Structure 1
Amino acid sequence: MQCLQDQDALIPRPRGTLPRVCAAVLAAVSIGVIVLLSPERLFGWVAMVILTLTLGPLLHGLCLLAEEVLYHSNTRYRGVLSHMLPACGLGGKTLLTAGLAGLLLYLAGHPLPHKGQCGKLLVLASVLYALFKSLGVLGPSEVEVSDICERRKMNVAHGLAWSFYLGYLRLVLPHLEDSITKFHATHQANSPFRSRGSRKLLILIPLNANISHKLEDEDDNIHFYDNLPNNEINRAGVRGRVYKHSVYRVLDGDGKAHECVVEYATPLLTLYSMSQESSAGFGEPERRQQVLLFYRTLQDILDHSLECRNRYTLILLKDEHEDDPHVLSKAILRHLQQQEKEEFCLTPPPHQETEHPLSSTPSSLPINNYWHHPDPMSREPTLMFSLERPLPLKEPVENTDDYQGRQ
């Protein structure tokens, strides 16, 4: 389990609600201080601040709307005004909040000594907000942009993960078991795929996104063995499009070969190529972050996929041991050994009878006119029914006569 714990320490978790909680606490403390200092003007101050915070975005939205209406109405929104308004931030929530704040300010009265000061402050704050927002001074931080992209699935990694799943894994993984069975039938002499763990597709995801087209070039303990039978699927107008997998033999420290179906996640080639193009604006830190998001997104997609369940293993390859020439084979062997430890045999081997450790009954005795064979401990749980009638915990004692005699 150590390798999975190391992977979990690298994968970024989705952002939570801690910023909202901190903001709510700060607002509650500030309002409490104002209540203690000047409670009579609390509602007026709150109404004026809310109105200022909502009028600014509304004015900035009007500035954005002017650009969209004049130059992008038909190309981006097909001339539909109801699509342009929320896209510019002129949504119903903002308008409703501004209206309620204005009504509250009218009912509570102006918190400033002079009426003109309140109006001037509202106009000046709203106009300056729109100006600074347009200049980027009040723009969202990198954390906010990252959070928005992750929540709305707008990252490059999200698109690549879904494309990899829908265009490849969901098509080939359901046929993987049959392909391995056919491969095993034609390679009986070498007898590969003895263990169940090697019957899964091992998907390699290196953090640096640098993929070699031949695994033996990366590690001399890995040798190409053969290809599985081709899967031909009609796809996007192509009749009999061929999908194939390669079988590799991975040597451990003792020189023993372990057969497995392994390949790199091909969408990482796109991420690596984007980081090499200056026009893509995609540097090495962004590439590493997208690789981690790709791993997390793909893992989440496959965890909810019934077609791919128990047919794959994602292997995240760190880039901190690049000087080790056998880091790739060690990572593959570590996951193969972990699979063998975690999986259990649900049915006993043929022609094998195991006595129950708590029973002294021979391996085959007649019980209630039925021949009973004790099951091994690794079998699936079954329901046991008793043929005897249930008995009460304690039989009732009739004491009516004794009670009448005492009377």
Structure 2
Amino acid sequence: MQRLGGQEALVPRPRGSLPKVCASSLAAIAIAGFLLLSPEMSCGLVAMVILVLTLGPLLHGLCLLAEEMFCHANTRYRGRGLLHPMLAACGLGGRTLLAAGLAGLLLYLDGQPLPEKSQCWTLLLLASALYPLFKTLGVLGPSEVEVSDICEGRKMNVAHGLAWSFYLGYLRLVLPRLEDSIAAFRATHQAGPFKGRGSRKLLILVPLNANIAHKLEDEDNNIRFHDNLPNTEIDRAGVRGRVYKHSVYSVLDEQGKAHECVVEYATPLLTLYSMSQESSAGFGEPERRQQVLLFYRTLQDILEQSLECRNRYRLILLNDEHEEDPHFLSKVILRHLQQQEKEEFCLTPPPHREMAHPFATHPTAPPMKGDWHQPDPMSREPTLMFSLEKPQPLREAVESTDHYQGTT
């Protein structure tokens, strides 16, 4: 688990289906109550209400369709297959048409006449005509929660794009090579850094305020630059030998002991911070904070599913409510390193103790020939054994028994 301390309370969870459950329950209660009060007119009135609610969006979709056909047919749809993508983009999908058609069919099959039938049809036409006006003016527009739900569900947020770009363009390239870089670094440094396994991972800092310092020692004087890992050169996008590098920092604990680790900020947060400083981006501080949290959650989900990056990173979400502590950053890094060391398990089997012969102490033990130094194979702890030989094809059984029938 990557979340530590209060991170779980900061990161928003994906929105669920509770609004659908509440809306379905409210509709069921209303229809059931109406059926009990006036069962003879219930079907016709329910069908009329459904028509009111569906014809308005259909008329509004036709207004949007006129704009798309006359102004954006070539630029947005490239003139191919106009009917289907335009209808779907304008909200004239199958669900709305199906609901309106079923409501009209139910109203036609219902034998009970509606009370004041002329007024009902007048209400239907007037409501359907006024709906596109209020929808266009934004009176009936989606709320911020709905827009956020749509953007998160369809992966349309800025944070989703930045997280995928950070993973595909950087982390997936460098993390599989990180262990070799650390091994080469240790071979050239006699001080013996990276003693613990937790320090051999890339620590990625994600501050909530997206305000990133280019030098970690400027944020905390208990953090000191140690050295750079050997450069990683990868041919990328036409650039031969593009250089990727990581910096090693020494983090001092309360006793003054140095702990070396590879740590850096998540670079895409610089983009989020710069966007919040540009008025033309329309990206304020509340939106920036929300996008940082979505970036953290999206990147965490991506990395947890990545086989190339597994067990080679650690995401650290930094809460900006502790800026008054001058050593907050070093304390957070050390806490993550200590937790990582506790989570690491020794996978090497314990050494086997040589055992005496099982019959050596028995009074009727048979005499042993020579020295017995091998342990009992059934008393050893199980270990995994791998064969380096190539698999051989299966062979058919060969009869090897000689049947000899003779007479004397």
TM superposition shift of 1:120: 1.1
**Structure 1 residues 48-63: aligned runs within 5 Å:** 48-63=48-63
Which residue is 1:196 aligned to? 197
Which residue is 1:90 aligned to? 92
Structure 1 counterpart SS, 2:4: helix
Q: CA RMSD in A?
A: 2.0
| Residues 347 and 380, structure 1, Cα contact 8 Å, conserved in 2 | no
Give the TM-score normalised by structure 2: 0.87
Alpha-carbon distance in 2 for matches of 1:309, 1:159:
21
Structure 1's consecutive aligned runs of 4 or more residues displaced over 4 angstroms after TM superposition are 367-370, 372-376, 379-382
| Residues 234 and 241, structure 2, Cα contact 8 Å, conserved in 1 | yes
CA deviations 1:136-158 (Å, max 9, x no partner) are 00001110000000000000000
Q: Is 1:12 aligned with 2:21? A: no
TM superposition shift of 1:45: 1.1
| Residues 110 and 118, structure 1, Cα contact 8 Å, conserved in 2 | no
Structure 1 counterpart SS, 2:336: helix
Q: How many residues align?
A: 369
CA shift in 2, pair 1:115/1:348, >3 Å: closer
Alpha-carbon distance in 1 for matches of 2:115, 2:168:
65
| Residues 163 and 295, structure 2, Cα contact 8 Å, conserved in 1 | yes
CA shift in 2, pair 1:367/1:72, >3 Å: farther
TM superposition shift of 1:111: 5.2
TM superposition shift of 1:381: 9.0
**Structure 1 residues 7-406: aligned runs within 5 Å:** 7-79=7-79, 80-109=82-111, 112-187=114-189, 189-348=190-349, 353=351, 363-367=354-358, 370-372=374-376
TM superposition shift of 1:207: 0.4
Which residue is 2:366 aligned to? none
Structure 1 counterpart SS, 2:16: coil
Alpha-carbon distance in 2 for matches of 1:29, 1:111:
24
CA deviations 1:121-148 (Å, max 9, x no partner) are 1111111111111110000111000000
TM superposition shift of 1:3: 6.6
CA shift in 2, pair 1:76/1:109, >3 Å: farther
User: Structure 1 counterpart of 2:14, which letter?
Assistant: P
Alpha-carbon distance in 2 for matches of 1:264, 1:285:
21
User: Structure 1 counterpart of 2:198, which letter?
Assistant: G
Structure 1 stretch 25-34 or stretch 292-301: which is displaced more? 25-34
TM superposition shift of 1:99: 1.1
CA shift in 2, pair 1:2/1:308, >3 Å: closer
| Residues 62 and 88, structure 1, Cα contact 8 Å, conserved in 2 | yes
**Percent identical residues:** 76
Give structure 1 stretches of 5+ with no counterpart: 356-362, 383-407
User: Structure 2 counterpart of 1:255, which letter?
Assistant: G
Alpha-carbon distance in 1 for matches of 2:334, 2:100:
62
| Residues 41 and 114, structure 2, Cα contact 8 Å, conserved in 1 | no
